[in-house]
Structure formats: structure tokens, C-alpha cells
């Protein structure tokens, strides 16, 4: 590993992860050689930002790069691997839940996973605070990926595929699912001709408090946390017009009331 040699990168994918990751790598001194995407327009746009060439053909992938980054939706990684002939560079994907084993049956000498734990949108993210989780097939790949990760972020961890998936699941609960609960709240209010905006002070307070603790359980409030099953039942009745939302209300209330702990205890 010689810091004075500029490493060359090709990227397959031009979506949110690629659009955040490539400019950060470019800024960290990497040479972005090529962006490949079936959406040629976004590939061209991103390539322009990082001084790369662009293509929409997997068969045109440059064979002379050090690291190939596959930043596509999980269910397309397999397809990309099947159609691409890589050079000798390290091949990584950026997925939370696809096992590294997906590379094993391919004729790829060095491979790994480079998983950034963040919600990426097209706007820029300060990568220095994004936790990066790295897995690799061997020490050569691991050294290269750790070096790259540490160029980008102060939070770099090695992780197994199994733990990475659990981390992704935790992120789905904390981020994707929380956002959906806000959506449910907005939908209920909309149907009653009430304003979602009035909830914002409450949402702000909730999450500012959650950011200040190590375990959000200690902040739990509400009817279920108080064990007020009368109110819980009133709410469940009031949601009769929303059968799925009603089920979600019921299950989360049970979970707050500690039923999960019982279930786990039974199994242990």
C-alpha cells in the first residue's frame, strides 16, 4: 500500500450511493476512471463531476482499474456480476444485506464489501461522519478497502456479512420504518382534515431527545408504555377503517409492553 500511487476506480451504478461516494473518493485523491450505468444520462452527469468517462454497457468496463465499485440495487448485483468481465482489481458492492458470498463463485481474485451506513440522497453528505463497514476476501483486499475507507471517514469498522445484515435491519427500523410511521401519522391527520405541521414540534422534541441518549427505551412514553390498555383499545377501535395500520398499532403496543422479551425468554 503506497499512498503516493493514485488508485483507479470504476463504478457500476449512478444512483444515490454512487452519487455521494464517487465525489467523496474523488475529493480524497482517487482517480475515478469510469462510471457505468444503464441510465446513460445519470452516468454522464456523475462522470462529469468526477472527471470520468461514462458508458451504459457492462461489456465496456475498463479492465485496468484497482477497485470496481458496484453500487446498484441489491437485486441487480447478481445480474451485474454475470454480465461483467472485470480486470484484476478488487470488486466490491455497497449493499447492507447482500452477503459477500455472492462473489465467491465468480472468477474474481479479490473482492469485498464497502457499506456506508447513511441515507443517501442526491445532495452531498459529509462523509467524514458516515460509518463505513468493510469486509474482504483476503488481506490484500482488506488493506486496500480499509485504506480507502479511512480516507473518507473517521468511523471505519470491519464486519461480517451476517452482522452487516442485522445492522442494515436495525437501520431499516430506525430510519425507513420511522419515516413510514410519520407517513401513517400524516395520512391519519389528512383524512381528519388536520394538519401534519402541528405534529412537527412533537416530532422534533422526540428525535432531539433520542439523539441525546444511549438507549431510547428510557425515553418511552405513551399509553402502551403506561400500560393504559383502555386507551390502547380505544385507539385500536378508532383505527377500524385502517386494518393494516390497526395491526401495526396493536403489534407495536404489544412490543412496547414487553411481550417480545417474554417471547425471547420462552425460547432461551
Which residues 25-44 are close enough to bind a second copy by CB under 8 A? none
Cα Rg, the chain, nearest whole Å: 23
State which of residues 119, 124, 154, 158 lies at the interface with a second copy (CB under 8 A). 119
Q: Is 238 in the site for a second copy (CB under 8 A)?
A: yes
Pick the stretch among 53-61, 83-91, 106-114, 241-249 that binds a second copy (CB under 8 A).
Answer: 241-249
- Pick the closer one to a second copy by CB: 142 or 182: 182
Q: Is 88 in the site for a second copy (CB under 8 A)?
A: no
Q: Is 239 in the site for a second copy (CB under 8 A)?
A: yes
Q: Is 228 in the site for a second copy (CB under 8 A)?
A: yes
Site string for a second copy, 136-155 (x = CB under 8 A): -------------------x
- In the complex, least distance from residue 37 CB atom to a second copy, rounded to whole angstroms: 16
Q: Is 247 in the site for a second copy (CB under 8 A)?
A: yes
Amino acid at each position: 500500500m503506497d499512498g503516493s500511487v493514485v488508485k483507479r476506480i470504476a463504478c457500476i451504478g449512478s444512483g444515490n450511493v454512487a452519487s455521494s461516494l464517487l465525489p467523496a473518493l474523488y475529493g480524497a485523491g482517487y482517480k475515478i476512471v469510469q462510471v457505468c450505468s444503464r441510465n446513460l444520462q445519470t452516468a454522464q452527469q456523475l462522470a462529469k463531476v468526477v472527471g470520468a468517462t461514462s458508458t451504459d454497457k457492462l461489456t465496456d468496463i475498463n479492465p485496468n482499474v484497482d477497485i470496481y465499485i458496484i453500487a446498484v440495487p441489491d437485486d441487480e448485483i447478481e445480474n451485474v456480476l454475470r454480465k461483467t468481465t472485470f480486470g484484476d482489481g478488487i470488486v466490491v458492492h455497497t449493499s447492507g444485506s447482500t452477503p459477500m458470498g455472492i462473489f465467491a463463485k465468480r472468477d474474481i481474485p479479490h473482492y469485498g464489501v464497502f457499506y456506508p451506513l447513511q441515507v443517501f440522497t442526491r445532495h452531498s453528505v459529509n462523509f467524514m461522519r458516515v460509518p463505513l463497514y468493510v469486509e474482504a476476501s483476503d488481506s490484500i483486499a482488506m488493506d486496500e478497502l480499509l485504506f480507502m475507507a479511512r480516507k473518507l471517514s473517521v468511523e471505519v469498522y470491519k464486519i461480517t456479512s451476517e452482522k452487516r445484515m442485522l445492522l442494515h435491519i436495525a437501520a431499516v427500523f430506525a430510519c425507513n420504518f420511522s419515516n413510514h410511521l410519520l407517513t401513517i401519522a400524516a395520512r391519519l391527520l389528512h383524512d381528519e382534515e388536520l394538519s401534519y405541521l402541528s405534529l412537527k414540534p412533537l416530532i422534533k422534541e422526540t428525535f432531539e431527545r433520542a439523539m441525546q441518549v444511549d438507549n431510547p427505551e428510557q425515553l418511552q412514553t405513551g399509553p402502551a408504555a403506561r400500560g393504559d390498555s383502555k386507551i390502547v383499545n380505544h385507539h385500536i377501535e378508532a383505527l377500524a377503517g385502517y386494518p393494516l395500520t390497526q395491526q401495526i398499532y396493536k403489534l407495536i403496543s404489544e412490543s412496547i409492553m414487553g411481550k417480545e422479551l417474554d417471547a425471547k425468554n420462552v425460547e432461551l
